[in-house]
A and B are shown apart, each in its own frame.
Chain A
């Protein structure tokens, strides 16, 4: 995670995206009226990332799948364009200014990987989520090498897609150079590695700490089981056993159960989230 934060400042593209996002935020805030109060409101709404509408392009030849994806994403408030073949996809992706591209790997006219390579070759750095029916390590590596930012194997649940698209939007994930993460009455001190809730110390194992930190850093965003497996354990396969659930329930036993309210929310059919 620290790496990800650093890369925001090191990677030229990410850096540019970060600054343009900040500039955008400032502009929104100016429009909503000045003053300290307005700034804070503005920052909160800006950080509540799930509610920020995005412009998305879906390149998928199976209409059932593309309709399903587009409908779901529109319901979340995003603007979605759909094209059914690779050539149109390339034209659309080059001309339209999209926040995220959702790209099927096998497409008529021009396959997904070639489209992606052409796009990257032309200097277009729009975040891309690659959809594929394959899913072995090899394909994953091929996809990521071609310039994909994330990779989702069919069949997938919509919740998984939505969570990944939101994660890909590459807006800064809160101003987290700070050493303390907060959610409700819970505080996580990243330096002393102390976690307290309502003034009580909570004793966490290292991996539980990492899990909670990951969720806290992405307040308001759904994190799916596979996203957690990738981020916290660096595992890219899907275990048969419900290992993530048991880890979450152990974390809840320490973080939520002794207290009045639940911080860690279960999002049906998708994953977990700590509300902002």
Chain B
């Protein structure tokens, strides 16, 4: 990227924007290869390489720097952020036609260059096909049809490594407007008016939080971005940081101006190396452009952003633990009050918001609170990004207006159950969330509706489960996660999660006792009500909600000795498939419990009463005649 001068006023920002637009429009074709973690893992760097060599082979002049208007080449190629539809990656998009190629392999490069780049025609076989028809452009795809993209609007289109691309899309204009057109109070008022609620979990009003911090008098204040996205399977924030890092930086700078802070921290997990790299690039470019650092846009406001890498502790997503971690202390939550708004990082007033929250801010300043309120519902305006995974046809990152029903997400956007089996439940809010069942399909996804059924938005994980999922096992699985990630500070969380895990493990391994259910429930409610921080208070949610909706399954494990979903190994029995058995007798020789009997050259039989389920027979059989079911 060619260096450019520091911007000293909003008009210079506008000039750069016009220049960037004109430069980009001079590029007849843009080839965007998804550079999100998912696509990169499934091979997009090789695809990019292949496309570049194909272009070279055909002597197609490529514009090295898209912003270089003097370059006569009219084709550009590079990475984009994640468009969300990870299931069909690696994804390649060709602008301006917006052909959306899926499952692209390096061998497809030649055809893409000759047919699309040079010929202007789509490669039919690379377009998304749902079995009945294929869809040429992104917006045609069923996955996107019911989505509304506010936060992710530029993700997947904007080049994350070039600030000018962001600027060409009104980037940093909200910051300029705030600095030159609004008082800090007016910024807080606008954000409050928009009804934006924290996207990290609890859903507290962002504007009010800023307001509390703004009114506290202090020589130093901080803006902290919680990018410690720890829920397994969640990658909403990662995607924003990788795909559109400037949206986060701009939101933080606006927050800094609003509360009177000159320093911000992004606490990002070290497991997001790409996000960290892109953030570092973005910060350095923004500083070079005078959009971060000292005297932003030539005015009196200065704001510096630092990155603090977290070492991968789930509890550091809790704001007080996160603050301790930035300070170099062990990441353990502390009691509130005092709230960070009064005493946060190094004891100074601090605003802590998550990535998605900050990424909404510039849009609100630019388009107004009323515009923002046009999305979603009255009590929860705006959109929410979810990571949709599990047994659905379409998995990936989705953004929907708050208030979209569970059913619409699972069946319209998610395309229904992949396995053809019946829908059973959706786990929402990660390991400390709750499960929603068929009776909740019409439940709107918003803070208050979810809370009313004992669930929470959390950071936005949605795991869809079909009927073959054992709900006790699900509860055990999530409990094993929260137990390992408990910081161990407060008694109820540390010991309570461990004991809940003990009981759940006992039940799924067939050793459950009838009194276990009452003890588990008592424990779950106690830990929920008595724990120190959000982790402990929410850790029992999977237990509480599965006990509420699937108590029968617990009872079946304990009383009837069966796992109704057929998932738990402890309840399965080994048997020999008659047709496959050659009667060699090896299994009977290996069985340590003498549970297998039979005559040579005739099918053998396992006596289930004697079987200890060690699996030695299955390992020994060369004909795959032993099954577990």
Task: Tell me whether A and B are bound partners.
Answer: no
Chain B interface residues toward A at CB < 8 A: none
